[in-house]
């Protein structure tokens, strides 16, 4: 089971998918693309224990968890 | 009683009546505003609570209203709305729940040492790919030297329209430091620079030299 963890005002919201289940992975991929392309979110692949993260540009159906951050700005 | 004393008596009575009238008027106005605010909050109860964090402090907005603004960012504890209405209490509960959820998420991405630093001082230290050490704080990021002294502070945060809880902001800064350090150095707003001159020196047309702390020359600094 993989999940998109999207940081938002509630803390975070999750979109999960099951590896091998094409439909759920496709829905997660669409959400990933919406967030990155339309809203400028940044994506990081992570394992579930939080050990090690890596930036990614494309949806990875094999990832255990993908963290999504809003656009970062100087304040 | 002399006419003069009658005059004084009349004038004082009129002044007293005038003051009383204004006190009653102000009281009614305050009452009207309280009712109006309560109604507006009821109407906008579905609006999200947004939190804007900056070096100057933080602002909570509920709907179109600024609910709380303060000059210092809370380093611990949670928002309480005192004896306000139930609507405000619900808003506070939502904010606190989001804050707690973001804290749990952040802790998943910290090692034991960083988690201890967070518990002790509400900040933690992480290292970028370039080997630089950064202190992630609730309200910004500090670039540190080899012995842990602050070189520079940056204000760098997730797009404020998203109103992220404070620990989500810290997680976002951590990931940016670790993977996109260049963006922070390029886009972050420097709020402290150890190596910047502390004094501004300017020569006036008459040849006199003015030396003063840079804060008195903010306009000059911004150019």
pLDDT tens for each residue of B6-34? 988 999 999 999 999 989 988 888 788 77
CA distance A55 to B16: 73
Q: What is the mean pLDDT of chain B?
A: 77
Percent of chain B with pLDDT over 70: 65
Q: What is the pTM of this model?
A: 0.66
Residue B5 backbone zone (phi > 0: left; psi -120 to 50: alpha; other: beta): alpha
Cβ-defined contact of B110 to A5 (cutoff 8 Å): no
Which DSSP category does B48 fall into?
A: P
Tell me which DSSP letter residue B214 carries.
Answer: G
Give B33 or A23, the one with higher predicted confidence: A23
Structure tokens at B203: 């020569």
Residues of A in contact with B50 (CB under 8 A): 9
Of B9-18, B74-83, B164-173, which range is least confident? B74-83
Q: How confident is the model at residue A48 (pLDDT cuts 50, 70, 90)?
A: low
Rounded to whole angstroms, the Cα distance separating B24 from B169 reads 47
pLDDT at B72 over 60: no
**What is the C-alpha separation between B196 and B199, in angstroms, rounded?**
9
CA B68 to chain CA centroid, Å, is 9
State the pLDDT at residue B67.
55
Please tell me the predicted confidence (pLDDT) of residue B137.
93
H or E element at residue B50:
strand B49-54
Best probe of the A interface among B164, B188, B191, by most A CBs < 10 A, is: B164
- Whether residue B54 has pLDDT greater than 70: no
Helix B3-43 and helix B86-108, axial crossing angle in degrees, nearest 10: 50
For A70, the closest of B54, B164, B184 (CB atoms) is B164
For residues A8-30, average pLDDT: 90
**How near does any CA of chain B get to the CA of A26, in Å?**
25
Indicate yes or no: CB of A70 within 8 angstroms of CB of B50.
Answer: no
ipTM topping 0.85 = yes
Q: Tell me which chain A residues have a C-beta less than 8 angstroms from the C-beta of B53.
A: 75
Residue B143 has pLDDT above 90, yes or no: yes
């Amino acid at each position: 089971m993989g999940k998109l963890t999207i940081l938002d005002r509630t803390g975070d919201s999750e979109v999960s998918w099951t590896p091998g289940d094409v439909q759920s992975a496709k829905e997660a991929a669409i959400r990933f693309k919406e967030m990155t392309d339309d809203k400028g979110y940044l994506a990081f692949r992570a394992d579930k224990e939080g050990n090690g993260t890596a930036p990614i540009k494309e949806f990875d159906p094999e990832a255990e968890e993908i963290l999504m951050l809003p656009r970062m700005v100087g304040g | 009683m002399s006419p003069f004393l009658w005059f004084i008596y009349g004038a004082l009575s009129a002044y007293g009546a005038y003051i009383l009238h204004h006190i009653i008027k102000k009281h009614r106005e305050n009452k009207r505003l309280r009712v109006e605010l309560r109604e507006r909050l009821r109407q906008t109860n579905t609006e999200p609570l947004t939190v804007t964090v900056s070096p100057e402090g933080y602002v909570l907005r509920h709907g179109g209203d600024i609910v709380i603004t303060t000059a210092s960012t809370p380093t611990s504890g949670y928002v309480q709305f005192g004896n306000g209405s139930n609507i405000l209490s619900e808003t506070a509960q939502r904010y606190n729940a989001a804050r707690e959820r973001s804290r749990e998420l952040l802790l998943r991405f910290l090692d034991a040492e960083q988690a201890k630093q967070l518990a002790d001082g509400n900040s933690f230290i992480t290292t970028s790919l370039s080997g630089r050490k950064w202190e992630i704080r609730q309200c910004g990021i500090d670039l540190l030297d080899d012995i842990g002294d602050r070189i520079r502070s940056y204000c760098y945060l997730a797009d404020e329209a998203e109103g992220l809880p404070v620990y989500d902001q810290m997680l976002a800064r951590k990931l940016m430091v670790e993977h996109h350090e260049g963006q922070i150095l390029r886009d972050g707003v420097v709020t402290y620079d150890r190596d910047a001159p502390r004094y501004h020196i300017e020569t006036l047309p008459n040849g006199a030299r003015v030396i003063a702390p840079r804060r008195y020359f903010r306009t000059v600094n911004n150019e």
